[in-house]
Amino acid sequence: MGLDSQIMGIQTGYNNLHTNQQNCWNWNRIGNLKDEPSQEGNWIKTLLDLSAPVDIVLDLHTAGIETTPHIYFHETELAHVTGLGIPHLLSWKVPSASFSDTNFQRGKVSLTFELSSSRSVHGEWVKESLIYLRRFFGLLPKVEGSKIWQTETQLKKWYSPAGGILCWHKDAGDAVTKSELIATLYTRQGSLELESPFTGVLLLKNPIHAPHERQELAKFLVE
């Protein structure tokens, strides 16, 4: 029911462009609107009503960003996310107003699977995502190899130092070290060699090719 919408290359949210041109609500972040008498409140209430009878909620995301597969999960649900083969597990303590977190607060096992990109779809990504889900449901044997990160302390945002044209030298999922060259930003004053501000993993890259100053470029998982 949402649209991955942008205006002039800036992410404006997942929203209904016909009824909701102004506030650009992110549909994954409006659990707090469930009691509002608006159309948006009615729709999110409908989603929550549909999920009310179930014990397990899997919120499956195919993001517009370039990302490496990962899961958001509450720290008490570790047993449900281990052994799936998904590279990165992001543990959180404090819930947001997201659909998944709202369901967790209702007493359900509720997990957010960030599986792949939606702007460019590859058969191998689909196949890989289905393998993760089959492992979750016990249809395939579990495997090792995932790394656990603390969302509140180890997930870091990175912002553009200036406006320009961005050329990445790293892919989502790559390991990086602090001060390593990871991108070049071409500005009116010349090119800027952008170094990694962290040591860790480049978790995702926002779909921005011509950022303005202080626009978010990426998120890192920091050692």
Q: Quick check: 93 pLDDT over 90?
A: yes
- CA count, 13 A, side-chain hemisphere, 126: 5
Please state, in angstroms and as integers, the Cα–Cα distance from residue 69 to each residue in 22, 23, 65, 72, 184, following that order. 32, 29, 11, 10, 25
Q: 42 with 23, same domain?
A: yes
Q: 90 with 139, same domain?
A: yes
pLDDT score recorded for residue 176 = 98
Q: 211 with 171, same domain?
A: yes
Please state, in angstroms and as integers, the Cα–Cα distance from residue 95 to each residue in 37, 50, 176, following that order. 24, 21, 29
Considering only 8-17, 40-49, 156-165, which range has the smallest mean pLDDT? 8-17
Mean pLDDT of 110-138: 87
Q: How many domains does the chain have?
A: 3
Q: 62 with 112, same domain?
A: yes
The torsion region of residue 138 among left (phi > 0), alpha (psi -120 to 50) and beta comes to left
Q: 106 with 160, same domain?
A: no
User: What is the domain range of residue 65?
Assistant: 55-145
Q: List residues bridging with 148 in a β-sheet.
A: 89
Q: 66 with 113, same domain?
A: yes
Q: 46 with 85, same domain?
A: no
- The enclosing domain of 212 has a CATH number of 2.40.50.100
Mean pLDDT of 140-164: 96
Cα–Cα distance for residue pair 158/195, rounded to 1 Å: 11
Please state, in angstroms and as integers, the Cα–Cα distance from residue 13 to each residue in 33, 95, 158, following that order. 16, 20, 19
Q: Quick check: 22 pLDDT over 60?
A: no
Q: 97 with 63, same domain?
A: yes
Of the chain, the percentage scoring pLDDT greater than 70 comes to: 83
Residue where a domain stops, chosen among 145, 167, 187: 145
Q: Quick check: 1 pLDDT over 50?
A: no
Q: 162 with 196, same domain?
A: yes
Residue where a domain stops, chosen among 145, 179, 213: 145
Residue showing tokens 């597969």? 69
Cα–Cα distance for residue pair 179/127, rounded to 1 Å: 35
10 Å CB burial of residue 203 (0-12, 13-18, 19+) is: buried
Task: Between 26 and 83, name the one with better pLDDT.
Answer: 83
Q: 36 with 111, same domain?
A: no
pLDDT score recorded for residue 208 = 81
Q: 45 with 61, same domain?
A: no
pLDDT score recorded for residue 72 = 96
Q: Quick check: 25 pLDDT over 80?
A: no
**Average model confidence (pLDDT) across the chain:** 86
Q: Quick check: 52 pLDDT over 50?
A: yes
Task: Between 89 and 209, name the one with better pLDDT.
Answer: 89
Mean pLDDT of 26-32: 68
